[in-house]
Structure 1
Amino acid sequence: MKQLTTALAAFAVLLVLTAFGLPAGAAGPSLGATQAYCIIDAETGLVLAQQNMDQELHPASITKVMTLGLACEKAQGDWTGVVTVSHEDVYSLAGTDSSHIALLEGEQVPVKDLLYATMMASANDGANVLAEYFGGGSIADGVQAMNHQVAELGLAHTHFANPHGISDENHYTSCYDMAQILRWALTQPGFEELFTNNEMYIMQPTNLQPVTRYFSQQDSMRIGSSMFYEPTILGSKIGYTDIARQTYVCLAEKNGVKVICVTMRSESKADRYTDVRALLDYAFSTWTGYTDVPGMTGAASITVRGGGDVLGTLSLDAPGIRVPLAAGLTAEDVTLSIDLPEVYTLGGELNGWAVYTVHGGDWQETASIRVPLTTTGLRNVLETSRGAAHPAAGDVAPRSGIPMVMEAAVLAVVIVGAGAFWYSRRGAVVRLNRAQPADSSYKQK
C-alpha cells in the first residue's frame, strides 16, 4: 500500500496554530468515578472526546445493542414472525439471578415482543431467543454471528461470549467499539424506533402464558418526572453486573448535532448519571454545529490492469465531508491523506480511501475518519483499451473475453464508491486483565 498524503489545497499549515498558541488542558473531561468513556459524532463516527476508549471491559447488558442490531437486520422491518423458545434459551440462565421475562420452553413469541422485551426489560431469555433467530440455529450460532459482525466493522477490542452480557472472561468490549456498534445498529431497519421508544410496551398472552406482560422505561435519564432526566437523550441502554459495574450507551441530540456517548465501569448509578450528564453538557457546549470540509478532484490516480495488460490510469476524487469542530478549529485544521493500493485489477475491489484527520490540539480529540474514494473515469479507460466507443443502444454486437469483464467491473467500482464510512483513530491500546475475582457472583440488569 502506498500512503499519499496531501494537505487540502486551501488549508493553512497547522504550525500557524502553534504560533498563536493553544488552550491549556486536555481535550475532554477527566472522570474519576467512571473508568472509560467515548463520545463520537453519530453522523461520521469521528471521535470527539475520550478517556481510555480502547480499554477492554465487561459490558454487561449494553451487549444487547449488538444482539438487537442483528435481529433487526435479520427481520428487515418485518417483526410479525413467531419464534419458539428452546430449552437452552431458558435453562442456560439457571442460577444466574439475572433479568428475564419468564419465557417458557415451547412458548411461541412474536419477534416484535422479543425485541421490546430485550430492549426495555433487558430480558436475557429474550436475548437468547433472538440469538437463535438471527444465528439460524443455536445460541452459539448467534454469538458467532455477533463476532462476525465485530470483524466486519473492523473493531479490535471486542469479543462476545453470549448475547446478553452476563460476565465472562471472554466477553468484553471497549467504549470506542461499543459506540461504533451502536452507530452501525442505528442503520438497521427499525432499530432506531426500538432504541428510542419511551412508551410502555404491552406483550399479549402467548400459547403458554395467559398473562399480559408490561415493559416500561428503566433509564431514569429518559423519564420526565425523574430528577435525573436528561432531555437531549433520544435512546439508551443501561447495563450492570457486579464485575462490570455500571455501563451505559446513548444517542443524544441538541441543535442538530447528534452524538453517541458510551461510559463503562461507573462505580454507582449516581456516578453514571452524573458523569453521563457532564459528558453531554460538555459535548453540546463544545460542538454546536457542523463545518463543511471540501473534497478534492483528482486527489489520486491508480494504474488499472486487466488480462495481464496495463489498461490505463484512473483518476480518483475525494468527496467532501462535514464534521463537528470545536470553537477555535476551522476546516483548515482538517487534513486529507489517501490510502490506495499501487494497482487496481479489474474484477477486484478498489480499496481506496480518503482519510480526513481532525487535528484537534487541546480543543478536540485528534482523530480520523475514512471515506471511500470515488471515480467516474473507468469507462474512459475501458473505451481507450478497446480503441473504440461503445455501440449505440440496440446496436450491441456479442463480445467475449476481457472487454466483458471490464464492463462488469464498472458497477463494482461504483458500488465501492458508495460504501459506508469507516474510520481510523489514534490512541494507545490498554489491555484489561479480565481475570474474574474469586467471588464471581453478580446480578445483571
Structure 2
Amino acid sequence: MKKVFSILIMVLLLCNHTTGSASTLDIKSEAAILIDSQSGAVLYEKNAKQKMYPASLTKIATAIYAIERGNLANMVTITKEATEVDGTKVYLNEGEEVPLKKLIQGMLINSGNDAAEAIALHLDGNREAFSRHFNDFLQNKINVQNTHFTNPHGLFEGSHYTTAEDLAKITSYALHNDTFKEIYGTKELKWVGESWDTTIFTHHRMLKGEIPLEGIIGGKTGFVTEAKQTLATSAENEKISLTAIVLKADHKKGIYQDTQLLLEYGFARFQTSLLEPSEVKHNKYYLPNETFITEDLQEGRQTVLDNGELLIETGSGETIQTIQLEKHEREPVESKVEQTKQEHEEDHATVIYGAAVFVLAGLLVGMKNKIFKYLRR
C-alpha cells in the first residue's frame, strides 16, 4: 500500500510539472538533456555542454563501436587482463571463448566491466590503440566534440570524460542500429558461462518496470564515486522518440525522478514530423531532402531567416530546432518570370518615353522655325 501511495504522489508531482515550459522543470541532477532521438532537437538542457564523468554510460558508446567495427559472430578469447578489471562483472574466465555479441549483451545488460575490457582488447589489441580508434570513431562518425574516452567501461580516470549532449548524440545514433536497440532494450537474458550460469537482468529500474512509465524502450545505468549516479533512458510513443541523459545525481531516487520529469514533459509537449522539401517555399533557399523536425503539440510556427536558417518554433517564439537550408544556385523559375515581366514593363515604358521625347522634340523644332520666321519679318 505504501508503494502504491508513493507512486500516486510521484504521478501527481509530474502532472504539475509537465504541462508548462522547460524552464519550470525542477531538475536536481548537475547536468541533463532531453532530445528527440529522430530529429536531434534539444527539448531541454541543463549544463549539457559541461564536461562530466559518465561512469558506465560509456558502455553505450563501446557497444555501438563494437557492433559497427566487429563481427558479432566472432569468438573472443578472454585474456587475464580482462578478468582482472574491477567492478561489476559477468565473471569471465581466462582462456574462455565467448561470441562478441554475447560480450556486448553482458556489458550492456549486466554492466560487465570484464566484458567491456575483453571487447576492447579483441577489437584493438591493447587499451591505448582502443582509446585512439574509439575516439576517432566517436568524433568522425557521430560528430561528438567534447568527449574523450580512455577505457571501454567508464571506471574513473581523470581524462575520461564526456557531456550530456554528446551522450545523447551517441545514444540516438546507436538507436538507429537494430542490434544495439535490441540489446539496449533487453530486460533479462539467460547467461551460461564457464564459471557463471544464471539469468542476468537490466539494472535500469524503468526498463524493468519497477518505476512505471509507458514507452520505455531501453536504458543504461552508471555509478562511480566521482561521477555519482548517471542514467541514460530512451522512450517512445506514437508521436515521438525521446532520449534523456541525466548526470551526477546524489541518489538513485533523484536520477529517476529527473528522468521521469523529462520524459513526461517531452511526451506532453512535442511530436516528430517529416518535413518535405516542397513544404519549404522561399525565393532564395530550399530544403534539399525530407527532414525530421520536432513540433510543439500545442502551437508552432516556422520561420526562414535571411541567412537561410529555418527555425522550428513554439507558439511563443521559443526555438525548438534550427535547420540550415541550401541556397539556390540559380534563381527560381517564379523569380525569373517576375524578372522577365518587370523587364518587359521597363522596355514598354522606355518605348513610350522615347516616343514622347521624339514628339516633344518635333514640337520644339516646329515652334523654333515659326519663331525664326516671325523675327525675319
Check whether TM > 0.5. Answer: yes
- Looking at structure 1, the residues matched to 327 and 111 of structure 2 have their Cα atoms a distance apart, in angstroms, of 41
Note if 1:81 corresponds to 2:74: yes
Note if 1:112 corresponds to 2:101: yes
Distance 1:122 1:26, change over 3 A: same
- Counterpart of 2:126 (choices 138, 155, 163) is 138
Per-residue deviation, 1:150: 2.4
TM-score, with length taken from structure 1: 0.63
Matches within 5 A, 1:236-385: 236-290=219-273, 292=275, 294-295=279-280, 299=284, 318-327=288-297, 329-333=299-303, 337-338=307-308, 356-360=310-314, 364=318, 366-369=320-323
C-alpha RMSD of matched pairs (Å): 2.8
- Looking at structure 2, the residues matched to 145 and 160 of structure 1 have their Cα atoms a distance apart, in angstroms, of 10
- Counterpart of 1:149 (choices 112, 137, 156) is 137
SS in 2 for 1:324: strand
Aligned counterpart, 1:221: 206
Q: Quick check: 1:175–1:262 contact (8 Å CA) kept in 2?
A: yes
SS in 2 for 1:165: coil
SS in 2 for 1:290: strand
- The gaps in structure 2 that reach 5 residues or longer are 1-19, 330-377
- Looking at structure 2, the residues matched to 374 and 220 of structure 1 have their Cα atoms a distance apart, in angstroms, of 51
The structure, 1 or 2, with the larger RCO (C-alpha pairs under 8 Å, 6+ apart) is 1
- The gaps in structure 1 that reach 5 residues or longer are 1-24, 301-315, 339-354, 376-445
Q: Quick check: 1:80–1:112 contact (8 Å CA) kept in 2?
A: yes
- Looking at structure 2, the residues matched to 128 and 336 of structure 1 have their Cα atoms a distance apart, in angstroms, of 51
- Report the identity percentage: 24
Q: Quick check: 1:319–1:374 contact (8 Å CA) kept in 2?
A: no
Report which of the two structures shows the higher radius of gyration computed on alpha carbons.
2
Aligned counterpart, 2:66: 71
SS in 2 for 1:238: strand
SS in 1 for 2:145: coil
- Counterpart of 1:195 (choices 184, 188, 213) is 184
- Looking at structure 2, the residues matched to 181 and 374 of structure 1 have their Cα atoms a distance apart, in angstroms, of 33
Aligned counterpart, 2:147: 158
- Counterpart of 2:40 (choices 34, 41, 45) is 45
SS in 1 for 2:89: coil
Distance 1:169 1:365, change over 3 A: farther
Stretch of structure 1 that moved more, 183-192 or 324-333:
324-333
- Looking at structure 1, the residues matched to 306 and 132 of structure 2 have their Cα atoms a distance apart, in angstroms, of 36
TM-score, with length taken from structure 2: 0.73
Distance 1:234 1:262, change over 3 A: same
Aligned counterpart, 1:231: 214
Per-residue deviation, 1:249: 1.0
The count of residues paired between Structure 1 and Structure 2 equals 307
Matches within 5 A, 1:397-408: none
- Looking at structure 1, the residues matched to 306 and 67 of structure 2 have their Cα atoms a distance apart, in angstroms, of 35
Distance 1:165 1:82, change over 3 A: same
Per-residue deviation, 1:237: 0.6
SS in 2 for 1:190: helix
Q: Quick check: 2:287–2:326 contact (8 Å CA) kept in 1?
A: no
Aligned counterpart, 2:337: none
Distance 1:273 1:101, change over 3 A: same
- Looking at structure 2, the residues matched to 80 and 164 of structure 1 have their Cα atoms a distance apart, in angstroms, of 21
Distance 1:291 1:83, change over 3 A: closer
Aligned counterpart, 2:371: none
Q: Quick check: 1:44–1:369 contact (8 Å CA) kept in 2?
A: no
Per-residue deviation, 1:251: 1.3
Q: Quick check: 2:54–2:230 contact (8 Å CA) kept in 1?
A: yes
Stretch of structure 1 that moved more, 365-374 or 318-327:
365-374
Q: Quick check: 2:38–2:292 contact (8 Å CA) kept in 1?
A: no
- Looking at structure 1, the residues matched to 183 and 292 of structure 2 have their Cα atoms a distance apart, in angstroms, of 28
- Looking at structure 2, the residues matched to 101 and 327 of structure 1 have their Cα atoms a distance apart, in angstroms, of 44
- Looking at structure 2, the residues matched to 370 and 149 of structure 1 have their Cα atoms a distance apart, in angstroms, of 25
Per-residue deviation, 1:332: 2.3
Q: Quick check: 1:120–1:216 contact (8 Å CA) kept in 2?
A: yes
Q: Quick check: 1:234–1:252 contact (8 Å CA) kept in 2?
A: yes
- Looking at structure 2, the residues matched to 162 and 191 of structure 1 have their Cα atoms a distance apart, in angstroms, of 20
Per-residue deviation, 1:238: 0.8
Distance 1:276 1:142, change over 3 A: same
Cα shift readout 1:90-149 (whole Å, capped 9, x = no counterpart): 23x2xx4x11122222221111220110011100110111112333x2132222222112
- Looking at structure 1, the residues matched to 165 and 326 of structure 2 have their Cα atoms a distance apart, in angstroms, of 21
SS in 2 for 1:67: helix
